[in-house]
Amino acid sequence: MDIEMLEFRAACIQAAREFFIQNNYLELDTPSLSESLIPETCLEVFRTEYIEPDGKKKIPLFLVPSPEVFIKPVIAQTKRSVFQLSKCYRNTESKGSIHSPEFTMLEYYTVNANYLDSVKITEKFFLFVLEKIKNFPLASPFILDALKSGFECLTMNEAFIKYAGFSLAKENSVRALGFHAERLGLGSAEKYADWKQDDLYELILVHAIEPNLPRNKAVALLDYPAFVPCLAAEKNETVYNTKNEALNWKTMERWEVYLNGVELANCYTECRDKEKIDAYFQTENALKQKHALVPHPPVTDFGNICAKMPPCSGVAMGFDRFIMLLAGRKTLGGVL
């Protein structure tokens, strides 16, 4: 990494801290090692161990893939908006142009706010950082212009209609998704007969939606399908067809934002329903123990912890990617 990038990176980090501190967020510095984690089947983790001084006992420890496991107990206790910039670790990540097994995550949680409030907060955050770094030689004029106009917001259903040619709200069965995957040139429907609903959805999202999103603005995809497991709150909304019949379509209060085609940040209205969180943990942990390359114990009592939080919305942003984009780079090389 050259000195110019080091200075640019430092300015971005300083700007992020300034924004949240000025807006009365409490900065956290939570541990990188944990004896237990939130079970997430979509990722693998790193395992190490603590060896006691006499060498007789070894305690398994895991590098955190996200500080969420430590942040939410703080929110439950303090009832404060918080943020953290820290290293996170994800195993089996491809060392590609925009992936790294070790990366910097910016997470911020706003109390008494939902996912739509976090859209506005994130837009303001981007503009604040732009103002601080706009005169650096590395600052990309294209990205500066792309962020000035705020987000273009589309629901996930609207994005599927626009870019994949069908309504996800109306056609989301395995059979329907397999049919559309074949229609979109992603392989024969027979090939996908044994696939799960969320895997087929992800296939179409990655190959038909994401590549077609505008590059000259930030795009937020809202209201993710409820069949994709996560710890977001379910949206209280019923969708009807033209015959005024209720559709089998539930969504989560969740968005992801893309900039220049790169997935940059993920946001939830945080779920605080103990029963739903416990059910999520039970399902995800069973799959994790069965299929994970590095299984780990699930954190205990997380449902009770989340139930004690005030209403809040959390955003997780790949900060290295943010710096990469602001500098007009196409890869993380030279940014990390």
Structure tokens at 1: 């990494």
Cα distance between residue 331 and residue 336, in whole Å: 10
Are 198 and 288 found together in one domain? no
Assess if residue 150 is contained within a domain: no
Q: Which residue range is the domain that position 163 belongs to?
A: 156-214
Are 168 and 109 found together in one domain? no
Are 224 and 314 found together in one domain? yes
Task: Report pLDDT for 115.
Answer: 99
Are 225 and 300 found together in one domain? yes
Are 285 and 269 found together in one domain? yes
The 10 Å Cβ neighbour count of residue 258 is: 21
Q: Mean pLDDT across the stretch 20-46? A: 98
Assess if residue 294 is contained within a domain: yes
- The answer for residues whose C-beta is within 8 angstroms of residue 149's C-beta and 6 or more apart is 217
Are 111 and 259 found together in one domain? yes
Cα distance between residue 70 and residue 88, in whole Å: 13
Task: Report pLDDT for 103.
Answer: 96
Are 114 and 64 found together in one domain? yes
Distance between alpha carbon 179 and the CA centroid of its chain, in Å? 28
pLDDT-based confidence at residue 244 (cuts at 50, 70, 90): confident
Examine the pLDDT at 254 and tell me if it is beyond 80.
yes
Are 221 and 310 found together in one domain? yes
Average pLDDT, the chain: 95
When divided into structural domains, the chain yields a total of 2
Task: Report pLDDT for 266.
Answer: 98
Assess if residue 29 is contained within a domain: no
Residue % of the chain over a pLDDT of 70: 99
Are 88 and 225 found together in one domain? yes
Are 222 and 314 found together in one domain? yes
Task: Report pLDDT for 246.
Answer: 72
Task: Report pLDDT for 53.
Answer: 94
Q: Are 2 and 335 in contact (CB under 8 A)?
A: no
Helix axes 115-133, 3-22, angle to 10 degrees: 130
Assess if residue 16 is contained within a domain: no
Stated pTM of the model: 0.95
Are 260 and 300 found together in one domain? yes
Tell me which DSSP letter residue 84 carries: E
Examine the pLDDT at 92 and tell me if it is beyond 90.
yes
Q: What is the pLDDT of residues 187-209, one digit of tens each?
A: 988 888 889 999 999 999 999 99
Cα distance between residue 127 and residue 144, in whole Å: 9
- The answer for residues whose C-beta is within 8 angstroms of residue 160's C-beta and 6 or more apart is 166, 167, 168, 204, 209
Assess if residue 18 is contained within a domain: no
Task: Report pLDDT for 334.
Answer: 83
Please name the residue ranges forming H helices in the chain. 3-22, 68-78, 115-133, 141-148, 156-163, 174-183, 197-204, 274-291, 302-307, 319-326
Q: Are 44 and 293 in contact (CB under 8 A)?
A: yes
Are 258 and 246 found together in one domain? yes
Assess if residue 113 is contained within a domain: yes
Q: Mean pLDDT across the stretch 281-292? A: 96
Examine the pLDDT at 241 and tell me if it is beyond 80.
no
Cα distance between residue 62 and residue 89, in whole Å: 9
Which whole-number Å values give the CA distances from 209 to 159, 174, 234, in the listed order?
A: 7, 18, 23
Domain CATH number, residue 46: 3.30.930.10
Task: Report pLDDT for 325.
Answer: 97
Assess if residue 175 is contained within a domain: yes
Q: Mean pLDDT across the stretch 174-196? A: 92
Q: What is the pLDDT of residues 318-331, one digit of tens each?
A: 999 999 999 999 99
Assess if residue 255 is contained within a domain: yes
Comparing CA positions, the residue from 323, 131, 114 lying closest to residue 236 is 114
- The answer for residues whose C-beta is within 8 angstroms of residue 214's C-beta and 6 or more apart is 152
